[in-house]
């Protein structure tokens, strides 16, 4: 299958907005394919669903999801990326246009979507609680939000840090193990979540947890660099997802479902720490 050019471009240097968005991959590889399979498995009825990719970037998941759902919309905060995604994905007359807006103020009516994807996005928004409330609002009852977000206990901060007034791009070890005050001085531009933190975000919202786990990454760059050794590492880490060692995995994978009313106190299904 032909893949359009910024999706196939491997970025070797960070952009001037890397601190804000974490410089996502523009290349569709095994890690993205694995996440797509997880999304499809968690979204029964996808073949007839209206889907929103909330924080779609250049639209790589929008393009793939359109192969499985009849109407896939994209929303992106950065105007340049929203415009580029719109050009590449067919403009406003496509099966779900790309719009530029903030996750805290989604420009859609209540109950518009059956499925909402938030792929490593809520850690970057100004108000993550408001963003989750908006996800709940635009989902129909029974609709699902599929959320990937950083795990606080992953040993590496993947979004870079600020040090002595300058931003340093890259994977920085052990930052997330520091006390909040120190960690947030080094990485004020991005959040990382514990299970307890996710529980606090969900409290009182009309969402119930269908599934929650943690996953390691695809490590495609390591495989490209180290070959069989990189593949062995990926296999070992992904096997560890099925053990208590998943507490150290890269990302939370959270599936929540819209309910008609908030659950009674103490009755919600909650992510574990």
Q: Say how many domains are in the chain.
A: 1
Residue 198: domain span: 5-154+192-258
| Distance in angstroms (rounded) separating the CA atoms of residues 91 and 64 | 16
pLDDT at residue 135 greater than cutoff 90: yes
* Structure-model confidence comparison of residues 10 and 24, the more confident one: 24
**What pLDDT is stored for residue 120 in this prediction?**
95
Catalogue the long-range contacts made by 37-45 (C-beta closer than 8 Å, 24 or more residues apart). 38/146, 38/215, 38/253, 39/65, 39/117, 39/146, 40/68, 42/144, 42/146, 42/210, 42/211, 42/255, 43/114, 43/115, 43/144, 43/146, 45/114
**What pLDDT is stored for residue 8 in this prediction?**
36
**What pLDDT is stored for residue 10 in this prediction?**
35
128: alpha, beta or left, given left = phi > 0 and alpha = psi -120 to 50?
Answer: alpha
pLDDT band at 23 (very low <50, low <70, confident <90, very high): low
pLDDT at residue 186 greater than cutoff 80: yes
Q: pTM score, two decimals?
A: 0.84
Inside any domain, residue 20: yes
Cross-strand partners of 252? 149, 214
Inside any domain, residue 139: yes
Inside any domain, residue 77: yes
**Does residue 95 contact residue 71 with C-beta atoms inside 8 Å?**
yes
pLDDT at residue 98 greater than cutoff 80: yes
**What pLDDT is stored for residue 260 in this prediction?**
81
pLDDT band at 95 (very low <50, low <70, confident <90, very high): low
Q: What is the pLDDT of residues 210-231, one digit of tens each?
A: 999 999 999 988 899 999 999 9
| Distance in angstroms (rounded) separating the CA atoms of residues 83 and 98 | 8
Return the CATH number at 72: 3.40.50.150
* Structure-model confidence comparison of residues 153 and 17, the more confident one: 153
pLDDT at residue 35 greater than cutoff 90: yes
Inside any domain, residue 211: yes
Q: What is the pLDDT of residues 171-184, one digit of tens each?
A: 889 999 999 899 98
**What pLDDT is stored for residue 30 in this prediction?**
85
**What pLDDT is stored for residue 165 in this prediction?**
85
pLDDT at residue 164 greater than cutoff 90: no
Distance of CA 130 to the CA centre of its chain: 16
**What pLDDT is stored for residue 139 in this prediction?**
98
Percentage of residues in the chain having pLDDT higher than 70:
84
**What pLDDT is stored for residue 11 in this prediction?**
38
Inside any domain, residue 21: yes
**What average pLDDT does the chain have?**
87
> Residue 207: what are its φ and ψ, rounded to 5°?
-135, 135
**What pLDDT is stored for residue 138 in this prediction?**
98
Inside any domain, residue 91: yes
Q: Exposed, middle or buried: residue 138 (CB in 10 Å: 0-12, 13-18, 19+)?
A: buried
For 80-105, letters b (16+ CB in 10 Å) and e give ebbebbbebbbeeebebbbbbebbbe
Inside any domain, residue 166: no
pLDDT band at 261 (very low <50, low <70, confident <90, very high): low
């Amino acid at each position: 299958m032909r893949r359009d050019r910024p999706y196939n471009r491997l970025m070797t240097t960070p952009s001037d907005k890397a601190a804000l968005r974490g410089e996502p991959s523009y290349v569709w590889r095994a890690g993205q394919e694995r996440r797509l399979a997880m999304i499809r498995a968690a979204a029964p009825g996808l073949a007839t669903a209206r889907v929103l990719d909330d924080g779609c970037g250049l639209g790589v998941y929008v393009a793939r999801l359109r192969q499985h759902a009849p109407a896939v919309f994209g929303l992106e905060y950065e105007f340049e990326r929203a415009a580029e995604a719109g050009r590449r994905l067919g403009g406003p007359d496509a099966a779900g246009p790309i719009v530029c807006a903030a996750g805290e103020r989604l420009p859609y009516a209540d109950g518009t979507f059956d499925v909402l994807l938030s792929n490593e996005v809520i850690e970057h928004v100004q108000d993550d609680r408001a963003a989750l409330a908006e996800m709940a609002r635009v989902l129909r009852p029974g609709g699902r939000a599929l959320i990937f977000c950083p795990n606080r206990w992953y040993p590496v901060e993947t979004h870079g840090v600020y040090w002595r007034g300058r931003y340093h791009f890259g994977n920085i070890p052990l930052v997330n193990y520091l006390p909040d005050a120190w960690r947030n001085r080094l990485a004020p531009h991005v959040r990382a979540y514990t299970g307890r933190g996710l529980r606090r975000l969900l409290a009182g919202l009309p969402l119930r947890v269908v599934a929650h786990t943690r996953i390691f990454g695809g490590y495609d760059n390591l495989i490209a660099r180290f070959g069989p050794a990189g593949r062995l590492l990926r296999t070992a880490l992904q096997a560890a997802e099925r053990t208590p060692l998943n507490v150290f995995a890269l990302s939370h994978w959270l599936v929540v479902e819209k309910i008609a009313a908030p659950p009674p106190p103490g009755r919600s299904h909650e992510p574990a720490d």
